[in-house]
Structures are given as structure tokens and as C-alpha cells.
Amino acid sequence: MLSAITVSIISCQKEIDWGLATPANLLLVKINSHTGTDSSLVEYFYDAAKRLVREKTTGISGGQSLNSELVINRNVSGVILTTVQKADALVATGIDSILTRYNYNTATSRYTSSIFDLPIPGFAVTDSTVYTYDAAGKIITDAHYLKISGLPIPLPPVLSLKNNYTYSASGSNLEMQQQDAATTPGGPLSPFSTQTYTFDLKVNPLKNPTEAVLLIRSSLYNANNIAKTVVTNTASPANDYTMDYTYKYNTAGKPDSSYGTRTPGGAITGTKYFYQ
């Protein structure tokens, strides 16, 4: 009887971190969040080299499904070749999945561009993204060129969106992200929105600075955890908001849990982090 209980306890410890193992050596595998009746569970999967290869999200927000999956396909050196995005929201529009292809320059060890197609019934949309780096090798802009075919007058590739990234003086955190967008196809870009971030001094449990911008998950860049986010929506100021985060940390200085408060509105998001 005692041996059966012991096996059961060991099995549980392999599933999640109960604070008995050394958290510094463990990988983030789940983030479980709740905001009122809304909830989400994000799961992370890694290859043998501890590189992120899959992200799975399940949950609901405002009555809408958040279910989605991102699969990251790498070569033997770990370079991203393609990603495949699936989501209930895409299926609802008739799109099964989005395949993104990445171009990588082995001489400079940098990703130069990416491209994906949206097979929308009646016409096709192609988004091509070009990455620009600073002298230190950080991506400072990604420019999106949109091409639409199948229309009576096809739209050639035109610049439709540009993200600009600003980093801390030390280069360890991404402090600001600005979006400029065209309001009409082929029209000039104008400010659309801005996100600014401040950070704690603890350890970000999932850091991947090389691929953060590529995967459209800018928080992966940071060495530390976001303590405050200020979102400014130039196109629609009524949608401006601020999020303030308070963390409880484990013995490795990584988040164990957090509370985020949204202003205006006062909505509180409780989050729990799991490691193994």
C-alpha cells in the first residue's frame, strides 16, 4: 500500500512542480489564467534540445473559443523552417490552417523574411514580411507587404503594416512596440497603436529573444517579466487600457502565480504557472 502511494506521488511530481524540485532546471509547461468566467490554458512543448516546438491554447473569452495551436517545424540546427497555426476562429472563416515559411541567411545567422497565404474563397491573400535588424542583431522593424489576387483588379504587393520595436538600454527587454498601418490598400502608413512595457527584476520563465518577433510573441524576448503594459490605440482611443501585474515567485525567481488588474474596468486576471 505504501509503495503504491509513493509511486503516485512521484508520478504527480513529474507532471507539475510542487516546489520540491529545483525550479531553475525546469521548463515552463503550462499557464492557466482566469478573468471572471473567462479562462485559458496555454501549454508549451519542447524538443530534446529544449527548444519550443508547439504551443496549444484552450479556453473561452466573451463566449468565443480561444482554442488554437501553433506548431513550429525546425531543421536539425534548430532554425525555424515553417510554422502551422490552427484555430477555431480561423475554421469559422473557412480557413483550416495558416502555413508560414521562413527564410534564413546562414551567413549572417538571421531570419530575413517570412511569407504566408490565406486561401479565402474567391481570392487569395499573401502576406510577406521583411525583417530589419540593428547593429546588435535585434529586430527593430518588420514590414508586411500584402498581395491580393482573384479580384477584378488584383492588388500587387503593397506595404500595409509596419511594427517598430524599441529595446532597453541593456538590450535585455523589449520596452515598446509601435504599429503603423494603412487605412486603405496601398495608402500611406499612419500610427495605429502602441504598447509600452515596464518590468520586474525576476526571471522570465520562457525566453527566446531570437524568435520572439518571428512568432509574434514579443514577450518571449524579455529577460524579465512584464510588470505593466500600457496600450494606446491611436485609431480608437476608447480602447486604451493599462494592465498592472503583481507576481509571487518560486525559489528560482520565476513566476509561481500572478494577478493582473486592467484599467479602466478593474477586471482581475489570476494566473498560475506550471513547470516540469
pLDDT at 52 over 90: yes
pLDDT at 232 over 50: yes
Domain contains 14: no
Cα 246 from chain centre: 20
Range of the domain at 125: 24-275
pLDDT at 108 over 50: yes
Domain contains 169: yes
pLDDT at 9 over 80: no
Cα 187 from chain centre: 28
For residue 157, report the phi and psi dihedrals to the nearest 5 degrees. Answer: -60, 120
Per the structure, how many domains does the chain have? Answer: 1
DSSP per-residue letters across 183-203 = SSTTPPEEEEEEEEEEE-SS-
Average pLDDT over the chain, rounded to whole? 90
DSSP per-residue letters across 11-78 = HHHHHS--SSS-GGGPPEEEEEEEETTEEEEEEEEE-TT--EEEEEEEEEETTEE--EEEEEEE-TT-
Domain contains 112: yes
Domain contains 250: yes
pLDDT at 23 over 80: no
pLDDT at 214 over 60: yes
Domain contains 3: no
Each residue's pLDDT tens digit, 157-184: 999 999 999 999 999 999 999 999 999 8
Of the two residues 49 and 235, the one the predictor is more confident about is 49
pLDDT-based confidence at residue 19 (cuts at 50, 70, 90): very low
pLDDT-based confidence at residue 121 (cuts at 50, 70, 90): confident
pLDDT of residue 155: 75
Q: How far apart are alpha carbons 165 and 183 in whole angstroms?
A: 21
pLDDT-based confidence at residue 13 (cuts at 50, 70, 90): very low
pLDDT of residue 10: 29
Which H helix or E strand runs over 174?
strand 174-182
Domain contains 241: yes
Domain contains 8: no
Each residue's pLDDT tens digit, 124-163: 889 999 999 999 999 999 999 999 887 777 778 999 999 9
Q: How far apart are alpha carbons 212 and 50 in whole angstroms?
A: 16
Residue appearing with cell numbers 495605429:
192
Q: What residues contact 146, with CB distance under 8 A and at least 6 apart?
A: 125, 126, 127, 155, 157, 158, 160, 161, 185
CATH of the domain at 254: 2.40.160.150
This model's pTM is above 0.95 = no
Residue 89 CB coordination number (10 Å):
13
Nearest residue to 179 via CA among 130, 125, 233 = 233
Nearest residue to 209 via CA among 199, 197, 224 = 224
Domain contains 143: yes
